[in-house]
A and B are shown apart, each in its own frame.
Chain A
Amino acid sequence: MVRMSLDELYKEVILDHYRTPRNRGRLDPHDVKLERNNPLCGDELELYLKFDGEDLVGVAFEGKGCSISMASASMMTEKVKGLDVKQARAMAESIKRMMAGEEPGDINELGDLVSLKGVVKYPVRIKCALLGWNTLLEGLDEVP
């Protein structure tokens, strides 16, 4: 059996985002507000997006959930703010590939997000890590 260490899951950067979430709170005005949850576990997320043309100029979230879901959402908001819709979508797809155990693509692009890779070894937690990203993908489809 593969021995798993909690250090791989609860990396310092994840704990930091959990303790001190970035871009947390309502975003007003916003163009898109989506509420999604993880029905099995009860993680809840509200995502706010503000666009300027094709550019994502504002991202914020509210929610209740485990460290992985909240830290992942917090890191996501930092990472995708300022990207255009296509770039943000590409980043979300890379994270999803990484969580599926595939090569995510350009690691340098992902930066801190690589810390989420430890979640892959805890399959039931993958949907926690992806809650924010899946919500983002839905939100990007609603670009006004």
Chain B
Amino acid sequence: MSLDPEVVRKDFPIFETRMRGKRLVYLDSANTSQKPRQVIERIVEFYEHENANIHRAVYELAERSTAAYEGARAKCAHFIAAPSPRSIVFTRGTTESINLVRYSWARANVREGDEVLVTEMEHHSNLVPWQLLTQESGATLRHLPVTDDGMLRMDLLGDYITDKTKLVCVGLMSNVLGTINPVRQLADAIHAMGGLILVDAAQAAPHMPVDVSELDADFLAFSSHKMCGPTGAGVLYGRERLLEEMPPFHGGGEMIREVFADHSTWNEIPHKFEAGTMNIAQAVGLGAAVDYLHSLGMDSVRAHEMELTAYALERLNAVGAEVHGPSDVDQRGGAISFNVADVHPHDLATIVDQEGVCIRAGHHCAQPLMRRLGVPATARASLYIYNTREDVDVLMGALEQAKGWFA
């Protein structure tokens, strides 16, 4: 079933908003996505008819809120083909999910002399936690290089994944280059050495089918707000065996089984990792976002974005923009970073904004990658289900205006 973005747009109330009297051309979904009515209404419905704290009370209302929250967990498990909802931990988002693995798994398992491997294209959220971990543990942090056209140097795997490597941390889809990384190949390589792989799927989960078994991921993280859901919710998938073995992350209510004056025992997974009152309505909203994406079909989402990405790349190349990342849409998603000669990305973003076009300018939380690309900043247009060829055309018109200012 193919996806008609003009129909999808009608689900998103924000597109009724005019920007400076013009059509809102939102090309910053890699940053955060817009929210469909189905998600917004689900959150309102929760607060109006189901709101109570979860897992703590015996009355009917609390049963409803708990069912809504746990229902969302089951939806998230299904979304990434996880074997059981027990392997789905709710967090605030990808950053917290990754930090949970750092504190809970890695602190107990990564020691002096060990290595943690990241890649040169990681988002800061999948880099800084590993800098902190390796600094405190005395382990070594290594970076798998990228090629000039934005692909991982898989030819170097033998040098970078060894019996010293305890953990590989890699993004499934780059937020800067759009590159879809060969995660399964990395998983096979690290598993052969007895290590684990953590997959940052913040950028991939909203845009393509993700299957933790196919990827053979040990941990996988994603955020609600980039996939049509509210901010404040995210997921950490972990293999059940690992989650069982791991010590808790935050201490507090709900994560315990029994508390004594001087020690406690832990709740079963995944509740062991969900201390305090969680972002309940946000998790329910994430569940509604999963339903929404399922109704479109993730294969259709991916197909639409491939087609639109090909069109945008063609238009950008035609005006001589320098586009970073792979040119083959089979190997990339719709986050397109580019530079236009003589126009700094900031100036570009300010000028196209006058035409109602939202693009990002800067380093996209990937400063080491910017250095690798040899640019201080890029402009980035990122595409999603509600974007159309018309959106790309408006962007291109605005780019021409920007060039005019600095010609």
Contact = CB atoms under 8 A, between A and B. Distances in A.
Interface of A: 1, 3-4, 6, 9-10, 15, 18-19, 39-44, 64-69, 122, 125, 128
Given A10-B405, A15-B406, A64-B376, A40 B346 contact: no
B211 to A, nearest CB: 36
A42 B363 contact: yes
A19 B406 CA distance: 8
Interface residues of B, number: 18
Give the most central of B363, B367, B376: most A CB within 10 Å: B376
Contacts of A6: 350-351, 354, 405
B372 interface: no
A66 B344 contact: yes
A41 B346 contact: yes
Interface in B229-259: none
B372 to A, nearest CB: 13
B406 A67 contact: yes
B358 to A, nearest CB: 13
Contacts of B354: 4, 6
Nearest to B19: A1
Contacts, number: 55
Contact of B350 (A3, A15, A43, A122): A122
Given A3-B20, A6-B354, A43-B376, A66 B347 contact: yes
A144 B238 CA distance: 58
Contacts of A18: 406
Nearest to B375: A42
Interface in B115-162: none
B362 interface: yes
B20 A125 contact: no
B46 to A, nearest CB: 33
A67 B362 contact: no
A18 B345 CA distance: 14
Contacts of A66: 344-347
Query: Which 3 pairs from chain A and chain B are nearest by CB?
Result: A42-B377, A66-B346, A66-B344
Nearest to B362: A41
A42 B405 contact: no
Contacts of B376: 42-44, 64-65
A3 B22 CA distance: 13
Nearest to B351: A6
Given A42-B362, A67-B347, 5 more contacts: A6-B351, A40-B363, A67-B344, A125-B350, A128-B346
B275 interface: no
Contacts of B362: 40-42
B384 to A, nearest CB: 23
